Amino acid sequence: MPGATNFKDCAVLESVVKKQAADGRLYAAVCASPAVALGSWGLLKGLKATCYPSFMEQLSSCATAVESIVQQDGKVVTSRGPGTTMEFSVALVEQLYDKEKADEVSGPLLLRPNHGDEYKVIELNPMEWKCNNIPQILVPIADGSEEMEAVMIIDILRRAEANVVVASVGDNLEILASRKVKLVADMLLDEAAKLSYDLIVLPGGLGGAQAFANSDKLVNMLKKQAESNKPYGAICASPALVLEPHGLLKGRKATAFPAMCNKLSDQSFIDNRVVVDGNLITSRGPGTSMEFALGIVEKFFGRPKALELAKVMLFVH
């Protein structure tokens, strides 16, 4: 919200979706949108649907409301919120292609086997992650960064009310992520480097990780962070392609994207979804991004705060 209301009030969108439904073609919505948009347009009459919990009463006036993670009825697919979006997206792939294609797409995403269970973070050598009141966090992005990882890290840390600076490792504020989604940074890395951070955390994506590894400025910032015993982290390709080659995993336990784990010198903890070792946090891929970001929230704000956010996003029951 208010995105779903803006959808509802957009006459062009309403006519497009109504034509889609009239033509017997697939249409779908997640979070508030099933109730606020599809329901208001009369496109859920007599159909089973789900939505974000606080909109279920509104949904029940225009559909048969159910509490499924993903609900399909005829040509409409609905889902509940941020924490169910991956399952929702994979369900759409299955509808558009087939189960085989959905499995092919979902495998490398590393989705959780048991949605709704409390997430686990493996922690070794526990230490307090300190900050002055509000954590200052740097999230670099570059052409080829994995957009799901970048956006989930930024989104969840901002939900926790950390101050997140998104910096472009390149010449432009706008980057083209790995699946051709355009992301716009707050500033260029040159500007961001003038500030100090309680945490520097790298999203993955092959092209983005390579750009990070080739940025002397970013690598030097990471080395200074490590030398100062301040937190730093990476997910997916970045532990293997950025941290490992620059000696930032030396003597540490870490994980990475499965296909990249052979590049890690210590592979004893690679099967864990999130690994914290002192001031280092690493994780595996898009499907572990929420756990990764929640693990960071937990280190700065405590587990109750992280679980509270996880429940609001419908990531845990």
Residue tagged active-site, from 10, 62, 236, 261: 236
Helices (H), 61-138: 85-96, 99-109
Task: Provide the edge-to-edge strand list for the sheet that holds 163-168.
Answer: 122-124, 274-277, 280-283, 232-235, 199-202, 136-141, 163-168, 187-188
Tell me the C-alpha distance between 180 and 158, whole Å. Answer: 24
Residue 190: CB partners within 8 Å, gap ≥ 6?
217
Tell me the C-alpha distance between 282 and 300, whole Å. Answer: 16
Long-range Cβ contact pairs of 31-34 (< 8 A, separation 24 or more): 31/4, 31/79, 31/80, 31/81, 31/82, 32/1, 32/3, 32/4, 33/3, 33/4, 33/7, 34/59, 34/63, 34/78
Structure-token match 């889902």, residue found: 79
Tell me the C-alpha distance between 257 and 139, whole Å. Answer: 19
Residue 170: CB partners within 8 Å, gap ≥ 6?
142, 143, 188, 211
- Known catalytic membership, residue 236: yes
Long-range Cβ contact pairs of 65-74 (< 8 A, separation 24 or more): 69/115, 69/116, 73/47, 73/48, 73/49, 74/47
Tell me the C-alpha distance between 143 and 181, whole Å. Answer: 10
Q: Which residues are catalytic?
A: 236
